[in-house]
Structure 1
């Protein structure tokens, strides 16, 4: 009989540092999922003890202050993330939730959430499989690798099978979300994780929203949704990202974000619209795609912030002018063009986008995954998983060795190259002016 436990790599009594990443959401630590071979029921308990059968790497995302102090229940944000993960679990392109529990301290030493009073538990700990890299880090690595000597190499672009494989996985994840009437609302390279097998999984559902199809008017406008460089124009102009019942199930705001990522995969030169503020972001979008009018985007003038700023009229340009001349196209650039239409009602659904790719052949998909591993995962971040611990005599020594291996993996992630932080210059042709005094413009326009 098998049983499994989650083992944290540092309980405060050792010098091991399990930290992988830290951000506004909390922090992510490396951990172990240990499979134990338990004695059979009729065995002599004194002679036969549980033995380690397997040790796999895991990642624990700890969300602090995840409960209300008065009731002890999960906060709305923490519940929304947990609920989305549970609803979407089981899809190949959504990071699986292996478990969750409440914790009283930063080390989260393993109380089962369902069996304890919530009043004293302040943190929510989510357990996921460990992934060697996310897409943001991977693209950053490619730029470091290709431009290390200051000039582009001839192979600076990603192979077409890598781009198609990544794009198809992203669309597969979004199709699954939108079929469950869930919007991710923060699709970006940093929330796309690459498995050691080359598959891409969508994660981080902290901003996810289940859409009440019967009453989309319940969705209020919220500031700060979606990372700025991947935020659609309807959100930048103060909307809630939901136009009507049809659009709600199509997930147009997520489609826009995915289109920005597709362009980034093709160019390998950073975000397509690298704005530094909401106004700057809008100016960059309109400079490339043209300034919208009611004729080509019905309802744009009704968005809350449309009348607060006016932009110089520009006709826009073809996306091919931005992405440059590729040796291959294979429909990716053309598809990206349709995903980056200003009017959200004219953007295709994830299902329609996925039909553009002919990747149903399992052999083709496996070849694509192998190419993703070679092109996007540095060899220094590929590690043995499961961890082999058979050379150690006692279970205690085996577990200690596994924790040491895990800490080395975490150290490699923390020491990952982080140079090459070049900020794109503002294009002089992207101009805007306020229609009223700055104090009348919502704070969201300056965020």
Structure 2
């Protein structure tokens, strides 16, 4: 076809279907997941999708974690209704952030009515390390490692909060760690963007934060909340790293038949048993909280956090850090930035940014058969065979506030 003929053909197409040339160009450039990655196996499944371990066919065999979003469901019928709001939100946030302690999104691939997010891969997460120390080693995490993990976690959270992002689901399983001891905050599926001047975020769509790490203002029915909910969760995570078990291990009350959010009596009791029952002096405005009348019917407890810390940490500075992260009043609770400046980190042994030896289990995954190609992307193994996910690496405590854009394929 001559150049003039091609131009005539293009002009005719544009007159009848202006989008056809765009679609033709898009399809020529489109590459499938299987053409770029070798799926090594299935790692985990969550609310919004499944995660697979994959090896790049181009980038010197680099290992990645690929998250595939689940399609929407109408009753028992799976339907493709386009890209969900939650997927758009997660992709948008991940594309705009770039920090050594936040898991990095490498690219997004759209294929066969499916969305794939390709992340860096990390060998472990906090939950695995906790289980390994409690079940296999039967020994506590060393103080140097504890400080290093906490310092990097706070460093990443400072970046998110400075970028006006609430994570809203910090817990050990979502805090990833490389074999060299570098922390990555992962899973921004529930994260939300807020703006300055700070306007509290309305919790109208769903209850946020896994129950054991949920801040008391959420448990008391607050409809608006701030960055303080993430700082409470950090306190819970640090306490769990210390004791190798959740500090506030309550039982979640489920939604009733009318989808009403129930009073989380057991979880509040677990908190009160350790840090005492709050009053107006501890928490100005608590009497106006939606669940205050329900709270008044609970047993009254004294603050025993000092005893809890003395039997596990034997450090007045460590106690003081947890005490300030567990302040009931969200406005008075320690911020991530102030927590990073706490004297506990300046006391010996200091946190290190060099290689940190962290005893942890070898990374396992469900292997894909050589002939299966991408069949494991749609057919995961039974739940009993599944292994939790983690992803990948960063560097020292520089508060880098730059942004980056990852590539998007198939759009």
Question: With structure 1 as the length reference, what TM-score do the two structures score?
Answer: 0.66
Q: Which residue is 1:295 aligned to?
A: 281
Query: Against the structure 1 CA distance between its residues 60 and 164, is the aligned structure 2 distance closer, same or farther, given a 3 Å change threshold?
Result: same
By relative contact order (CA 8 Å, sep 6+), the higher-ranking structure is 2
For the 8 Å contact 1:181–1:211, the answer to whether it is kept is yes
Out of 342, 359, 363, the residue aligned to residue 381 of structure 1 is: 363
Change (3 A) 1:174 1:275: same
CA distance in 2, matches of 1:360, 1:77: 42
Matches of 1:359 and 1:94 in 2, distance apart? Answer: 24
Equivalence for 2:124: 133
Distance 2:274 2:184 in 1: 30
**Inter-CA distance 157–191: structure 2 relative to 1 (3 Å threshold):** same
For residues 161-210 of structure 1, what are the alpha-carbon distances to aligned partners after superposition, in whole Å with 9 as ceiling and x for unaligned?
11001100110111001001110000000100111221111010111011
Matches within 5 A, 1:298-317: 298-312=284-298, 314-317=300-303
Q: Which residue of 1 aligns with 2:228?
A: 252
Are positions 1:34 and 2:57 aligned together?
Answer: yes
Counterpart for residue 19 of structure 1: 42
SS at 1:264's partner residue? helix
Structure 1: runs of 5 or more not aligned: 37-53, 105-120, 148-155, 243-247, 384-399, 419-447
1:144 to 135, 145, 149: 135
Tell me, yes or no, if the aligned pair for 1:196 and 1:382 is still in contact at 8 Å. no
CA RMSD of aligned residues (A): 3.8
How many Å separate the matches in 2 of 1:17 and 1:65? Answer: 23
- CA drift of 1:340 comes to 0.7
Q: Is the 8 A contact 1:31 1:60 kept in 2?
A: yes
Who is 1:179 aligned against?
162
Q: What SS does structure 2 have at the residue aligned with 1:79? A: helix
Given the superposition, is the C-alpha separation of residues 370 and 296 from structure 1 closer, same or farther in structure 2, using an over 3 Å criterion?
Answer: closer
Q: Across the two proteins, how many residue pairs are aligned to each other?
A: 333
Is residue 282 of structure 2 the alignment partner of residue 273 of structure 1? no
Q: 1:327 to 1:81 in 2, by over 3 A?
A: closer
Whole-angstrom CA distance in 2 between matches of 1:326 and 1:309: 29
Query: CA–CA distance in 1 between the matches of 2:295 and 2:211?
Result: 18
Q: Contact (CA 8 Å) 1:93, 1:170: kept in 2 or not?
A: yes
Cα displacement (A) at 1:307: 2.4
Instruction: Give the drift of 1:67.
Output: 11
Q: CA deviation at 1:70?
A: 11
User: Is the Cα–Cα contact under 8 Å of residues 72 and 81 in structure 2 kept in the other structure?
Assistant: no
Within the candidate set 82, 85, 92, 1:76 is matched to 85
Deviates more, 1:251-260 or 1:283-292: 283-292
- Choose which of 217, 232, 236 in structure 1 pairs with 2:219: 236
1:264-323 Cα deviation digits (max 9, x unpaired) = 11112x110000122100111112211111222111122222224434453422323224
Matches within 5 A, 1:3-402: 8=34, 18-35=41-58, 54-65=60-71, 74-88=83-97, 90-104=98-112, 121=113, 123-147=114-138, 156-214=139-197, 216=199, 219-242=202-225, 248=226, 251-268=227-244, 270-277=245-252, 278-312=264-298, 314-326=300-312, 329=315, 331-356=317-342, 358=345, 365-367=352-354, 369-372=355-358, 375=359, 377-378=360-361, 380-381=362-363
TM-score, reference length from structure 2: 0.71
Give SS of 1:59's match. Answer: strand
User: What is the rounded CA distance, in whole Å, between the counterparts of 1:267 and 1:194 in structure 2?
Assistant: 19
Q: How far apart, in 2, do the equivalents of 1:164 and 1:330 lie? A: 15
> What is the CA distance between 1:359 and its match in structure 2?
6.9
What SS class does the counterpart of residue 213 from structure 1 fall into? coil
Contact kept, 8 Å, 2:44 with 2:50, in 1: the verdict is yes
Give the Cα–Cα distance (whole angstroms) in 2 for the partners of residues 359 and 35 of structure 1.
44
Q: Give the whole-Å Cα distance in 1 for the aligned partners of 2:186 and 2:239.
A: 20
- Is the contact made by 1:230 and 1:260 (CA closer than 8 Å) also made in structure 2? yes
- Provide the secondary structure at the position in 2 that maps to 1:352: helix
Query: In 2, are the aligned partners of 1:291 and 1:312 still within 8 Å (CA)?
Result: no
Q: Is the 2:65–2:121 Cα contact (8 Å) retained in structure 1?
A: yes
